Structure 1
Amino acid sequence: MNTSGNRLYSVVISLIVALGGFLLGFDSAVISGATPFYKGFFGLPTGSWLIGLSVSAIILGAIGGNIVAGPLADRFGRKPVLIVTAFLFGFCALGCALAQDVYFFIIARVIGGLGVGMAILVAPMFIAETSPRKLRGLLVTFNQLNIVLGISIAYFSNYYIQRTVTDTAVNWRWMLGVGLIPALVYFILLFFVPESPRWLVRQGREAGALAVLRRVGGEEHAQTELSEIKASLESSAGAHSGTSLGQVFSKQMKTVMIIGFGIAFFQQITGINAIFYYAPMIFEMAGGGKDAAFMQASILGLTNLVMTLVAMALIDRLGRRPLLIIGACGLTVALVLAGAAFRSGSYTLTDSGLSVVRQEIAKSAGEGNADQVASALSGMKGI
């Protein structure tokens, strides 16, 4: 048995599938850099509800994608659904880049959101069902890591494009259209990925499932995993036959439901997504220039990526709960400081700054006299 070869194969197919997470993060963050430019092209005034809808349209689509992803993955298989998500990501990138009006732009974003919602569910499901047990935890984290990597790359891509493509009528098209490249790569590579062994067993295709399991973990792993999959499916079938929606919301499940829903809800309601979606605009409003705002957004994405790596390194050592508490406290402090900075911010012109300005505007034969007069006027403030 070639153990290293088996492991390499598992890592490769997990990385391919985790590209869905990369596209998810990229599509979510790339809009932040495009918004300041396309709102002018579409003639949208600042504060228009259509700006908010164009940004949040991907979330609306993601809700629908979440709802249909499970049933579609169970009926048609994980691999076909992932291929569809790649197509939806590509359509979104191309549609947004070519949009001539805001309504088509929003429709393209909603369609991309369907891919986001499906990828959130199916990509980690596929990795978990295909990976060997010893590598499963690590490989599943590839998807989450790729999400924050996609966010970071989107910010850096936006920064590079806004610096190199100076025409504001088309630079936002490049920002959004560049997402077509990873979508095409994802679409092509998925054809070389096997189907989930668990899904194959559910369809009665045990020989196909066994072949996949042998490839990812060897003969011993394949036989053991196949037996566990069959036992798990039988157990699930028995459990589902006696489970109703009412039992999910019963008193016995009340605490679990509150904790699970609460963590997910408060993670989103904190407002951190608003910062991710509007980062360059927020930094520019805080007083920086446009170029500086895009660079600061890139630093934000890089910080997010680094801290995700830190969390991955500490999660088994410190535990889930302490990291959640630390993260929540840090997020609270950061958001309070951000709000306070906007509330108390003020801008003044200093003598040193004014001296530079007057030197620049007095470039003439009499610039010495002009500077002398300006200095005298500046000194009168003491009176």
Structure 2
Amino acid sequence: MIDTMQNTVASPDGEHIEIGAGSDLYVFDSTMTASFFSAALTLGALVGTLSGGPIAERTGRRIALIIAGPLNVVAFLIIALCQNVAALIIARLIAGFSMGICSFVCSVYISEVSPTRLRGLLGSCTQLLMGLGILLVYILGAVCRTDGGSLDPLATSWTFCRWRLVSYICLIPGAVLTVAMFFAPETPRWLATRGKLEAAEDTLCRLRGVDHPDDPRIADEVRALEDIVESQTKRSGGLSDMKRRFDILWHCPKQVAI
């Protein structure tokens, strides 16, 4: 994909193959610019991962994912349509930011809505599906190819990656996530940390398929929610809460460095 964007595709013999006049696939005129485009995703993901926790704590896990979904859609739409190099790099930053939020918040959301016996299994699916998604994009890059209108005799129909088409396809997961989260509940744990015990119990009943929070099948989980509300009430606004927040902020830079 990057080779196509900077027109550095080579034949098996090492000879340069021109992408052809009039193609909108060639956008980068230097390796440095292409490198910035490639690195922007990682930089955005770093910021998104660090921001995901505070966003999810303040707005809720569900809202955090609703924020991340449209950002992903907008980013890939810009990449698919735009010719401006600066806009493409900014779009990659936005895409990385969205992916960083999702990589953090999805794991938290799944762990907080899953039954205890399935929590480990469902939690591991996040990384598995991320890996499968990366593999799928590589496959799309291999399938979505064109000669780009090139008249070079070395060019074939498999020479240049139609990365704009791939970007359009990458819109789909973000759109699906956004729509799906509008119908998904907030996690019971987050509701409990906000003192909304009744809403937390109702959501837990909905997730577990029971009619009432007194159902013995969810007794342990209801008790855990009550403990969360009680602990939040005791420490809210106190010195211990301030110390805990300071400790978290103090250790974050060290974790990033490691």
TM range (shorter): 0.7 to 0.9
User: Which one of the candidate residues 29, 37, 41 is aligned to 2:4?
Assistant: 37
Whole-Å Cα distance in 2 between the matches of residues 85 and 172 of structure 1?
Answer: 22
SS in 1 for 2:6: helix
User: Which one of the candidate residues 187, 202, 208 is aligned to 1:211?
Assistant: 202
Find the counterpart in structure 2 of residue 59 from structure 1.
42
Instruction: Please give the residue correspondences for 1:137-216 in structure 2 after superposition, counting only pairs within 5 Å.
Output: 137-162=120-145, 165-167=146-148, 171-216=162-207
The CA deviation string for residues 302-353 of structure 1, in whole angstroms up to 9 with x for no partner, is xxxxxxxxxxxxxxxxxxxxxxxxxxxxxxxxxxxxxxxxxxxxxxxxxxxx
TM-score, with structure 2 as normaliser: 0.75
Whole-Å Cα distance in 2 between the matches of residues 228 and 246 of structure 1?
Answer: 23
Letter in 2 for 1:225: E
Instruction: Please give the residue correspondences for 1:271-290 in structure 2 after superposition, counting only pairs within 5 Å.
Output: none
Whole-Å Cα distance in 1 between the matches of residues 180 and 123 of structure 2?
Answer: 18
- Name the % identity: 29
SS in 2 for 1:194: coil
Whole-Å Cα distance in 2 between the matches of residues 195 and 234 of structure 1?
Answer: 20
Whole-Å Cα distance in 1 between the matches of residues 138 and 230 of structure 2?
Answer: 46
CA change 1:43–1:85 in 2 (3 A) is: closer
The Cα of 1:229 is off from its aligned counterpart by 2.8
Contact 1:88 1:115 in 2 (8 A): yes
Contact 1:124 1:143 in 2 (8 A): yes
The Cα of 1:216 is off from its aligned counterpart by 2.5
Runs of at least 5 residues in structure 1 that lack an aligned partner in the other structure: 1-33, 250-256, 266-383
The Cα of 1:77 is off from its aligned counterpart by 1.0
The Cα of 1:67 is off from its aligned counterpart by 2.7
TM-score, with structure 1 as normaliser: 0.52
The Cα of 1:50 is off from its aligned counterpart by 1.4
User: Which one of the candidate residues 98, 105, 111 is aligned to 2:81?
Assistant: 98
CA change 1:56–1:212 in 2 (3 A) is: same
Whole-Å Cα distance in 2 between the matches of residues 211 and 98 of structure 1?
Answer: 44
1:245 maps onto 2:210 in alignment: no
The CA deviation string for residues 336-374 of structure 1, in whole angstroms up to 9 with x for no partner, is xxxxxxxxxxxxxxxxxxxxxxxxxxxxxxxxxxxxxxx
Letter in 1 for 2:216: E
The Cα of 1:210 is off from its aligned counterpart by 1.1
Contact 1:210 1:222 in 2 (8 A): no
Whole-Å Cα distance in 1 between the matches of residues 126 and 161 of structure 2?
Answer: 32
Runs of at least 5 residues in structure 2 that lack an aligned partner in the other structure: 8-25, 150-159
Instruction: Please give the residue correspondences for 1:1-383 in structure 2 after superposition, counting only pairs within 5 Å.
Output: 34-40=1-7, 41-45=26-30, 48-162=31-145, 165-167=146-148, 171-217=162-208, 218=210, 219-232=215-228, 234-235=230-231, 238=235, 240-243=241-244, 244-245=246-247, 265=258
SS in 2 for 1:128: helix
Whole-Å Cα distance in 1 between the matches of residues 52 and 256 of structure 2?
Answer: 20
Contact 1:65 1:117 in 2 (8 A): yes
CA change 1:42–1:247 in 2 (3 A) is: closer
The Cα of 1:245 is off from its aligned counterpart by 3.1
Higher helix fraction (1 or 2):
1
The Cα of 1:167 is off from its aligned counterpart by 2.1
Contact 1:64 1:114 in 2 (8 A): yes
Contact 1:213 1:221 in 2 (8 A): no
The Cα of 1:176 is off from its aligned counterpart by 2.0
The Cα of 1:247 is off from its aligned counterpart by 11
Letter in 1 for 2:4: F
Whole-Å Cα distance in 2 between the matches of residues 229 and 107 of structure 1?
Answer: 41
Contact 1:214 1:221 in 2 (8 A): no
Q: How many residues align?
A: 218
More deviation, 170-179/100-109: 170-179
The CA deviation string for residues 267-309 of structure 1, in whole angstroms up to 9 with x for no partner, is xxxxxxxxxxxxxxxxxxxxxxxxxxxxxxxxxxxxxxxxxxx
Contact 1:210 1:223 in 2 (8 A): no
The Cα of 1:246 is off from its aligned counterpart by 9.4
Contact 2:40 2:93 in 1 (8 A): yes
Whole-Å Cα distance in 1 between the matches of residues 132 and 188 of structure 2?
Answer: 28
